Structure 1
Amino acid sequence: MTRLLILSVSAGNGHVRAAQALAATAEALNPPCSAVHIDAMAHVAGGFRKVYTDWYIQLVNRAPEVWSYLHQKADSTPHSATSQRLRRGIERVSAGALLREIHRAKPRAIVCTHFLPAELLMREGNRGRLDCPVWLQVTDYDLHNMWIVPGMAGYLAATEEVAFRMRARGLPADRIHVTGIPVMPVFSQPDASELARDACVSRLGLDPARKVILMASGGAGVGDLPSMVERVLALGGPGSDFQVIAVAGRNATAHEALKAIAQRLPGRLVALGFTNEMEKLMAAADLVVTKPGGLTISECLALGKPMLLVSPIPGQEEHNAGFLMEEGAAWLAYDSIGLEYKVARLMAAPEQLARMAQKSRSLGKPDAARRVLDCVLGA
């Protein structure tokens, strides 16, 4: 029997990373907890998967204003509305294989890092076909109506405000726990020698005496990553002798363009593709330029990194950005001109960066995954 089953949805990468963090933390417990992570999209009908994941990604990239409307509309639509019942019906028809996989695992407890499997399991529980507790981990710093799934054993919130919103929307107060958003175990050791800032900078071939900016995002209004990096490296004035780490991920075209820039500007830029060592790149950075996805900013907060946010997805990422700016841990660049202006300003103001870093560290919950497991396994 599986002790813990963790269910994610690969619509974006954050839900999956939160699930991976929980699984890795469970296995590292003493004694280890048997944990299995399943991506729900690997066990649903192909057409449903394409619509749910590919359509979502294309929509937020190509028509963010449409996504913004849909996001707001869904937030104000009651769960009892015909459109919501139809959506849940389509999900059930498409997810028969997923439900069979869940029952085959015979878990003692389940944690969902996305609302879709939680909704499916709510129905299973209501019909007496599920005999284990189901918990729901919210992976943003705000609360959308889709996360209000009745009947869960517990609800895991990033902040006190998210918990307040859960109570205001009718979820039982005694089932709500403020844990933070789970990050990988390595982020729970920010003072470890392998995450020492100067050592991480030196390993990349950069100068620890100079400021380092980590850039990992491009997007609407700001531009693609190579053009962002080129504009930022062209800045002059006080503090402009900084270095850049640029991460293109699996975008091979962007990676090649970044490598060409690095050749033209030796000692200023490290151009990387996909990496499994983002924690070391974050540890090396004095400023992180990123989209405000829930998991990415949770990792930055765990390491106490100030952020310059770009290209937030309307809805959830805009709300994440608002939270960080209210708390003083981040600034937001609305467009390419704002990006250049705010990078220049922050690089010329080390005291401002230090204040933002202090705020960031105070907000971080590097042990969030352990907190979640304490709730789930101790229940």
Structure 2
Amino acid sequence: MQRGSPVVVVSASFGAGHDGAAEELAARLRAQRRAVHRHDFVDLLPRRAGVLLREVYRRQLTVAPRSWGWLLALAGAGRLSGRAATLTAAADEATLAAVGPDARLVVSTYPLASQVLGRLRRQGRLTTPVVTYLTDLSVHPMWIADGVDVHLALHDDTARQAKELGATDVRVVAPAVRHLAARTGRPALRLPAHGPLALVVAGAWGVGQVERAALDIAATGLAVPVVACGRNDTLRRRLNRSGRVLALGWVDDMPGLMRACQVVVQNAGGLSSLEALAAGVPVVTYRCLPGHGAANAEVLDRIGWVPWLRGRADLAGGLRAALAGGNAFAPAPLRPESVLADLAVAA
């Protein structure tokens, strides 16, 4: 039986990373018999504005990813702050209604939701404490909202960035990723029976230079590329026609798939990277997305969690090192504090 005032978790269905973190946080809270109410920020924006914004973002990453990098840079320099405030203000009333009068705590895993919640706290319209869980290792200024009570960071480096951007109470916690079951066998997943496998992950939408990355891996002869295309069926069909790549559609058991492979190749530094590290599978960054992908890649490389292979000349050597090094890039420096302990303190 659930007990006490609810914890409200606000995420956003922009890909699967923000939702994945929110889902795991909610699961851990429910395991403590706490009531949890989850909300998608997309649904809190009026007149389907959130749905439109999500589709624009998806198409931008698919068709013109460099423009996403430019847009993030402008936002980081404050040049879009007025427009962002106007956009998020439209969600104020719906967010207040979603939180309700009895919530014990609000947790945001999405930067624009944090902006709304922080503003409502500053205005005194929201009295419930607000925690932002930073899903990225690199902290964009939009993540840091005045009025948010606590920011949770996944590494000391991330905490430093958050403090430099104005966050006051910042705590370092272990990533909220699923507890992983035993290794799933290749036959159950219909994977090649022989040879090292390199799992190429590209988020729920299968965006970025995925095809080029997979073919580059195949050309090294060091591993068979297995591509998790997410919901991008067009990419999956095209890759499978190449005859050099095994392309999969949506995978429910992503941790099991990771454990069946010998290395994970990622391009955005999001949830998939953290899940692979938690599973003890070596991870490398290759052909990363502009904007948040490149920013996360830089931090992951700097802190020693995931090496960034910046070009084809680095790929073969990077794959060899990962395949030979086992768990060499696992996040051993993580502090053992529980995410839930910090949430409880904030409440």
**TM-score of the two chains, using structure 2 as the length reference:** 0.85
Matched, 1:57 2:58: yes
Q: Which residue of 1 aligns with 2:328?
A: 358
Whether contact under 8 Å (1:303, 1:361) holds in the other structure is: no
Q: After TM superposition, give the deviation of residue 73 of structure 1 in Å.
A: 2.5
**Correspondence for 1:88 among 76, 85, 100:** 85
Deviations 1:295-347 (A, max 9, x none): 12111221232223234232322121112223444344556xx1xx5554355
Cα distance in structure 1, aligned partners of 2:38 and 2:26: 7
Counterpart residue identity of residue 353, structure 1 = L
Matched, 1:211 2:196: yes
Matched, 1:376 2:343: yes
Matches within 5 A, 1:105-184: 106-172=102-168, 175-184=169-178
Q: After TM superposition, give the deviation of residue 177 of structure 1 in Å.
A: 0.5
Matched, 1:248 2:248: no
Cα distance in structure 2, aligned partners of 1:75 and 1:285: 37
Cα distance in structure 1, aligned partners of 2:94 and 2:167: 29
**Correspondence for 2:94 among 97, 115, 125:** 97
SS in 1 for 2:116: helix
Q: Which residue of 2 aligns with 1:46?
A: 47
Matched, 1:22 2:25: yes
Distance 1:327 1:101, change over 3 A: closer
Q: After TM superposition, give the deviation of residue 66 of structure 1 in Å.
A: 3.0
Q: After TM superposition, give the deviation of residue 58 of structure 1 in Å.
A: 2.5
Distance 1:316 1:86, change over 3 A: closer
Identity %: 25
- Higher alpha-carbon deviation: 58-67 or 301-310: 58-67
Distance 1:329 1:162, change over 3 A: closer
Q: After TM superposition, give the deviation of residue 156 of structure 1 in Å.
A: 0.4
Deviations 1:28-63 (A, max 9, x none): 23xx22212111111322352145322223233333
- Higher alpha-carbon deviation: 33-42 or 68-77: 68-77
Cα distance in structure 2, aligned partners of 1:207 and 1:60: 30
CA RMSD of aligned residues (A): 3.0
Q: After TM superposition, give the deviation of residue 259 of structure 1 in Å.
A: 4.4
Q: Which residue of 2 aligns with 1:304?
A: 280
Cα distance in structure 1, aligned partners of 2:66 and 2:190: 42
Which stretches in structure 2 are left out of the alignment for 5+ residues? none
Task: From the two aligned structures, give the one with the greater helix fraction.
Answer: 1
**TM-score of the two chains, using structure 1 as the length reference:** 0.78
Query: Greater Rg, structure 1 or structure 2?
Result: 1
Deviations 1:152-206 (A, max 9, x none): 221101210111122223322xx2100143222x24xxxx5x23xxx53353355
Which stretches in structure 1 are left out of the alignment for 5+ residues? none
Whether contact under 8 Å (1:141, 1:320) holds in the other structure is: yes
Whether contact under 8 Å (2:201, 2:272) holds in the other structure is: no
**Correspondence for 1:322 among 283, 292, 298:** 298
